[in-house]
Amino acid sequence: MSLEHCEKYTDSALRVGEVDRYPQRVAGEFIGEVVGNDWVNKEYKHLILKVHERALAAYAGQFFHLLCPTPDGAEVWMRRPMSVYRVDKAASQLEFLYKCEGRGTRGMGMLAKGDEFNIAGPLGKGFKLDPAWKNIVVLGRGVGLATLAPLSQLAAEKKVGVTAILSARNPDVVMSKDLFDSLGAKTLTVLDTDKTSDVANVEKIIEGLIKEKKADAFFTCGSSRLLKLMQQLGKKHGIPGQVAMEQIMVCGVGACYVCMRTFEIDGVKTLKRVCRDGPVFDMQTAVGW
């Protein structure tokens, strides 16, 4: 690479097929090639990237830090953290499911087949499955479902039974049901439009699963309200759980202390870095957002 290529910023990321200069590093900076970037409904898009093999080491709950193109001509200064939706090792592909909402994701929405996209990762601590757990309950809302999808893939590989409760505003924005179904999960959809997503109803569903011994552990993402419900049920029945948290980030590796959230451990409130200490945390320690 000559200096003519980096008049503005350095161009140090690894492309597909390039010699890896940092093979022993757990994370890296990669330039993925866009294979597809299609709408899944009115609000969400599904990005498929062909990436260097080192980027495929990502596991459920980990995230990449994305250098999004500008949607409006002005600079997008910071990367955007996004959890991995799916890792397809056979095809050397990473997938992201995202809502086109802010400047970063709107810029991302403009990516077309063949474009290059700079991503850094995999970063953070993801989900852990205890070998003692035979059946888990996954409860997600909105884009939180995208974070929980790879967990169901991991559970399927480990022959752990999954009940996935998918919460959404209306039937048009229920996502990933097909993916959860294809992984052998039992899926239940709850909606705002028919009030099945009310906390009382979701509580009833989960209490039923506990009675059926289908709830050895809880997992959630995307709703503070549903987190509180799972915490309360977890405490009542002694069921462990994990929550994936979100926060705006700058460095993504633990250096800058921008992405703080409040946690409570043994009655003492503290701040933790979502990027490095998480983004997946012990559910009972999370204070919500």
Partner 1 sequence: MVDLSVKIGDITMQNPVTPASGAFSWEYNDVIDLNRLGGLVAKTICREPRLGNPTPRMAETEAGIIQSIGLPGKGIEYFVDHIVPEYAKFKPPLIVSCSSDNISEFALLTEELARMPDVDVIEANISCPTRNLTGQNFAMHEDYTSDAVKAIKAKCAGKPLWVKLSPNAGDIVSIALAAEAAGADCLVIANTFLSLKIRTDNFRPALGNKFGGLVSPALKPIVLRMVYQVAKQVKIPIIGIGGVTKAEDVVEYMLAGASAVGIGYAGFRNPTALVQIIDDLERWCDERGIKKITELIGAVKDDDMEMDPLVAASHGV
Q: Is residue 253 close enough to count as binding partner 1 by CB under 8 A?
A: yes
Out of 9, 132, 266, 267, the only residue in the binding site for partner 1 (CB under 8 A) is 9
Q: Is residue 79 close enough to count as binding partner 1 by CB under 8 A?
A: yes
Q: Is residue 55 close enough to count as binding partner 1 by CB under 8 A?
A: no
Smallest gap from Cβ 212 to partner 1, in A, equals 40
CA 95, CA 115: separation in Å to the nearest integer? 15
Residues 209-248 that bind partner 1 (CB under 8 A): 247-248
For 6, other C-beta atoms within 10 Å of its C-beta total 11
Q: Which stretch binds partner 1 (CB under 8 A): 27-35, 45-53, 158-166, 197-205?
A: 27-35
Q: Which stretch binds partner 1 (CB under 8 A): 35-43, 118-126, 141-149, 236-244?
A: 118-126
**DSSP E strands, 4-157:** 14-15, 28-39, 44-50, 63-67, 80-83, 86-88, 93-99, 116-123, 135-141
Q: How far is CA 87 from CA 56, 93, 154, 286, in A?
A: 6, 6, 11, 27
Out of 61, 222, 252, 278, the only residue in the binding site for partner 1 (CB under 8 A) is 252
| Backbone angles phi and psi of 4, in degrees to 5 | -60, -25
Out of 35, 58, 229, 251, the only residue in the binding site for partner 1 (CB under 8 A) is 251
Comparing CA positions, the residue from 9, 78, 1 lying closest to residue 259 is 78
CA 65, CA 87: separation in Å to the nearest integer? 16
Which residues in this chain contact partner 1 in the complex, by CB under 8 A?
3, 6-13, 22, 25-29, 65, 67, 74-79, 103, 118, 120, 123, 247-248, 250-258, 260, 270-271, 276
